[in-house]
Amino acid sequence: MKSSGIGGQAVIEGVMMRNQDVYAVAVRKPNGQIQVMKEQWSSFLDKHKKLNIPFVRGVFNFIDSLKLGMKILNYSASFYEEEEEEKDEKAKKKESVIMGFTMVLAVVLALGIFVALPMFLSTLFRGFIHSRALMGFVEGVIRLVIFIGYVLLISLMKDIHRVFMYHGAEHKCINCIEHGLELTVENVRKSSKRHKRCGTSFLLFVILVSILFSMVIQVDIVWLKILLRILLIPVIAGISYEILRLAGRSDNWLVNLISKPGLMLQGLTTREPDDEMIEVGIRSVEEVFDWKAYEEKEFGKKFS
C-alpha cells in the first residue's frame, strides 16, 4: 500500500481531509446539498521547525489536531443549529469563553477518568498482588477497559453512530486511493474502513505505552503518583506518535503486527457508511488532493 500522506477526521454529517497545509471540510446540509469549506492551516511546527524532531513533534501535532478538530466540529455543527443568527462581538466573546471553559472541563474529566480512576481502582488488587510492576500492568489494563467501555457507550448515541459512519467513509476514501483504485462511490464502498494512521490507533498506542511506564515508574505517595502520570503524558504521546508514523509508512511484518490491535479497535470507532456519506468523503478528498496525478505516479494508472 502506497501512503498518500493525506489524513482526515469525521465531523457532524461530514468529513475533513487535510493534505499538508491545506484542509477541506465537506458537510451534508439538512437540505441535502454538500457544503465545502477549504482553508490553509499553518501548524505550530511549520512556524517552529526546530521542534520538528522525533519524540517531540508528536505532542505539538496532537495539540494542532485538537485545535483544528474543534474548529471544524464547530463549523459542521453550525448547519444543524435550530436557529442561525448573526452574533455581535459580545456574543462571540461569550461563546469563546464558554468554549474555553468546556475544553478545560473536558481535560479535567479526562484526567480524572483515564488517569486517576484506573490508579485508584488498581489499589483494590493490592491485597492479592505484591509486585509493583504487576500493579502497574493492572492499572494499565483497567485504563484500557475504561477506554473501550467509553467508546462502546458513546457509540450507542445516534449522532455519534453517524459520526462513526463518516469516520468509515473517511478511511474508505483514503484506502481506495492508496490501493490504486479510481475514486468512485463503488470503489470506495468496497474499500476497508480501517487504516493504520487512524487517531483511534494513536489513542490505543498511548494506553499501551502508558502501561509500560506504569510498570517501570512506581512511587508510593498518591499525589506524586498522579503528578507523574500527568507529567509523562507528553512523553507517552511523543512515543505513540512515532509508532503511528512508522505504522503509516511501513508494511513490515512487525509493524503490521503492532498495528493489529489499533485496527481491531477501529471496529468500534468506524461504521459502514452509506453512499451519500461516501460522496461527502470523495468531495472532501478532491478539494485538497490530486488523486489522479498520485495514482499515475505511484501505480502508472491514468484516469480521464
| Structure confidence by residue, pLDDT tens digits, 14-37 | 999 999 999 999 999 999 999 999
pLDDT above 70 coverage of the chain, percent:
90
3-state secondary structure of 132: helix
Q: Residue 192: enclosing H or E segment and its boundaries?
A: none
Specify the residue for cell string 493504520.
Answer: 196
pLDDT digits (tens, 9 = 90+) for 225-240: 888 888 999 999 999 9
Better pLDDT: 188 or 20 = 188
d(CA 116, CA 62): 22
- Confirm if 88 and 96 have CB atoms less than 8 A apart: no
Q: Return the pLDDT at 98.
A: 52
- Confirm if 206 and 115 have CB atoms less than 8 A apart: no
Q: Residue 95: enclosing H or E segment and its boundaries?
A: helix 89-111
pLDDT digits (tens, 9 = 90+) for 120-151: 899 889 888 889 899 999 999 999 999 999 99
Better pLDDT: 82 or 256 = 256
Name the pLDDT band for 255 (thresholds 50, 70, 90).
confident
pLDDT digits (tens, 9 = 90+) for 55-85: 999 999 988 998 898 899 889 988 876 444 4
pLDDT greater than 50 at residue 269: yes
Q: Return the pLDDT at 302.
A: 86
- Mean predicted confidence (pLDDT) in 171-191: 96
Measure the N-to-C terminal CA separation of the chain; round to a whole number of Å: 23
Better pLDDT: 169 or 73 = 169
Name the pLDDT band for 223 (thresholds 50, 70, 90).
confident
At residue 42's C-alpha, the angle toward residues 52 and 72, to 5°, is 120
Identify residue 208 by its one-letter amino acid code: L
- CA dihedral sign, ordered 51, 52, 57, 62: positive
Angle between helix 291-299 and helix 158-178 axes, rounded to 10 deg: 40
